[in-house]
Structures are given as structure tokens and as C-alpha cells.
Amino acid sequence: MKIENFDKEVLREYDIRGIVGDNINENTAYTIGRTFGYTVLNRLKSNIIATGYDGRLTSPDLHQALCEGLKDSGAKVINIGIGPTPMTYFAHYHLKADAVIMVTGSHNPSEYNGFKMVLNKHSFYAHDILSLQKLIDQKKLESIEGEIIHKDIKQNYVDRLLKNINLNKKIKIAWDVGNGAMGAVIKEVIKNLNNSENILINDKVDGNFPNHHPDPTVPKNMEQLISIVKEKNCDVGLAFDGDGDRLGVVDNLGTLIWADQYMLLLCSEITNLYKNPKIIMDVKCSKVFFDEAKKLGCDPIMSKTGHSPIKEKMKELESPLSGEMSGHVCYADDFFGYDDAMYVALRLLRILCSQENSLSELINVYPKTFSTPETRFDVDETKKFLIIDEIKQRIQKKEVKIIDIDGIRVENDDGWFLMRASNTQNQLTCRAESTTQEGLKSLIGIIENQLSLSGVNYKFTI
């Protein structure tokens, strides 16, 4: 293996990600090891780095190459093996490591893979990621002999997840692991979860994802779980993405409960633990969330999308809870402040078991709206940000309220819509919400027209 230049398209905002065999290979992984290891050593004068990998077919080989690169940077590498991304984050604290790297393609299609990094308990993203190429250009890398050791922390991770989690009444839960990496630990979790009856599907880790793609924000991927919840009369259905840092929820009636809805239930508990807690949510979330969170006694703050910047914002504002429409939810209350979908699921179950009403009844107290799901569609990678800039320039000429902290969120008399470029894929993301069906159709018409003016032909189905 050798050090080589990065393809410019793989150095993303939040992580390094690309298509294996096209712009990511074992040399890429080795190079990440050499450059990240150098960075850790030079910033901290110490170089203990924990690593893990998900269940994708290409992850073991990429992980091995990564570890070799880290070792050749002089690092003491602690390989914790296969598991969800949050378990690797947990290793940062449990093993007192200086940094961690997770090999994962997250929710991307199966041909993708990538790397998520944390340095000294802070997200390693944006300009930090771009700095890795500069180290290659400056020829600063030298070979230093390190070591690789193996450590199994699965039981330690499970024990920490279940700490302070006690369900005070019986609850029936359907779990859909989506054949993702959470399958490496979920049986141990539910075995020790009191007062629970558990139905487990797609729990075998399989990088072919034979049953459905592991992305719980896509309704068709939740159809199997919805059927199980209805058929078995479950109280709740819970689903994970491929690397276990995003949570999807289905209520007792088989209705999808989006993150900006179940976050309100999480807020209802947090507001009893903190005075006017700052709760961070991204620009894709419903206006209902921001309005209702205020009524609960929280201080909701709108943020740009992205688990990395949101985690950093949490530290800055000392926020106990944050989330994204995509299902990344981070707890700093009684936890570490990173996105762990299993921990969020356990907190949600604890809340449900403290209530007399069902999940559907708890959600139905909030105002009803008509909305699109988080809608993503492919565009040319080199044009995605230009398209949003063009649309922003046109819309600025109209008499509407524009929030431009991340893409453009536009509010008018019908409601609001969001258009933004994905930082992780060659896609645009759009969402619209209104208090009426006609208002929603009007907002969708604006989105489709603006896309058309920028050469993108996309039609929504609602």
C-alpha cells in the first residue's frame, strides 16, 4: 500500500466518502491512516487511535489498510472490530483514546464506503478534512513504527447504553436492524432490557442489505417494519440506518413518526431536567417543532444540517439534546453528546413507559400539517451547490422570508419549503410543509418550477 492523492470529490463536509474501486480504495484508506495519524500526533503529542468498521462488504479490507496506515504514522491502534458507529465513538471515552475513526458508508448505496473521524472528542470535519491533502502536498509525512492491538468492548458498550434505563411497564417493540452494523450488539441489548417483549427482524449483519436499504428516512424502507407493528400489535417500531447512528420510528398504528415529531417527546422529558434548555434542530425540521418546543419550555435553535456541526454547536451552547430530520439525535444529558440511535431509542422507550397514552395519542396532540418527506434526488455532483445558489438569487427578488444558514428555507403564507445541496451525496434535498393540502401543492409547484429554471426536471409524488 502507498500514500496517494485524494480524489477531490471524496473529501466531504462531514466525512470522507466515495465509491469503492472508483475514487476510494485501500490506498485511500492507508493514506487516511498516515495523514490522520500525523495530525493527531502533532496536535496532541500522543497518538492512541481507536478504530471500528460497519458491515459493508468492503469495510474489512478498507479497515485493515486504515490500521496499517495509522500504525505507520506511529499510532497505537486499538481495533474494536465490527459494530455500529456509536460504539466506535464510545471507544473514544471508554478506552481514553486521543481519536477514533469509523469505516462506514452510513446510509449511502452499497457501492459506497467512507470514514468518520473524531479528534480529542471534537468532530473532525470541513477544513480539517481538507487539511489531509495538504499534508501530502507538503510531503510532511514520515514513517514511524506503531502497533495494532485488538479489544472487544461490545459488552462495555451495551452496559453503558442500558445504564439508568428502566422501563416501568411492559412494552412490545419491533426492531428492524436493516442488516446493518447495529446487528452486532442488539441481541445483547434487548436480552437485558427489562419489561420488554421484542420482535427482531433483519438483525444479521449483511452488507448486501438483502431485505431493504438501511435508510429509515425513506418510507419504502420502513414498509416491512410497519407490517410487523400492525400484525403483532406492537407499541412501537424502531429502525436503524446502516451504521446505527440514525433512528426511524413507527407508532402503534403503523404510522411513520419523523424525527422532528419524536424529538418533541424527548423535549418533554428534557424540559423537566433543565431550565429553558437549548435544543438544536436542523433547517429541515417542521415549524411545528420550533413552536411546540417553546411551549414546552425549551429554547429551540435552528441550525445548519449535519451531525458534525450540530455536535460542535451542542458543546458551544451546552445543549443537552439536539437532532436532525434525518434521524441523527444527540444526547449530552447523561450521555456523551454524540449520535447513538440505540441510546435515543432506549430514552424514547423510557418516556413511553412513563406515559398512560400510546405513542400515536402522544403525537396526535401536536398540530397537524401536510408535508413531503425529506426528498432527495440525484444531480450532477459538480453543479449541486450552483443550482441552489441560482435558485436563491431568483427567490431573493420575491417578497418572502428567507433563512439561508444552509441552502434556502423559504416561508410564505402557505407554509415553508427547503432546498439544499447534500454534503455527503450527489443530491439535492427538498422538503415542504403547509397547514393545508392546497398550500402544500402550491409550495411543491414553486420548488418544481425553480428546479426547472435551473435545468433539473423533478416531480414530487404526494
Give buried/exposed letters for 327-340 (b at 16+ CB in 10 A, else e): bbbbbbbebbbbbb
Helix (H) / strand (E) containing 67: helix 59-72
Instruction: Residue 311: count other Cβ atoms within 10 Å of its Cβ.
Output: 25
CA distances to 166, 227, 261, 412, 457 from 255, rounded to whole Å, are: 26, 10, 12, 28, 30
Nearest to 345 by CA among 257, 223, 249: 249
59 belongs to the catalytic site:
no
Instruction: Transcribe 1-44 into DSSP letters.
Output: ----PPPTTTB-SSSEEEEBTTTB-HHHHHHHHHHHHHHHHHHH
All cell numbers assigned to 54: 460497519
Separation between Cα atoms, residue 375 and residue 188, nearest integer Å: 35
Separation between Cα atoms, residue 157 and residue 154, nearest integer Å: 5
Is there a contact between 176 and 229 (Cβ–Cβ < 8 Å)? no
Q: Give the angle subtended at the CA of 399 by the CAs of 394 and 400, to the nearest 5°.
A: 85
CA distances to 100, 117, 204, 243, 393 from 89, rounded to whole Å, are: 7, 9, 22, 12, 40
Separation between Cα atoms, residue 400 and residue 338, nearest integer Å: 35
Annotated catalytic residue, options 59, 106, 268, 326: 106
Active site (catalytic) residues:
106
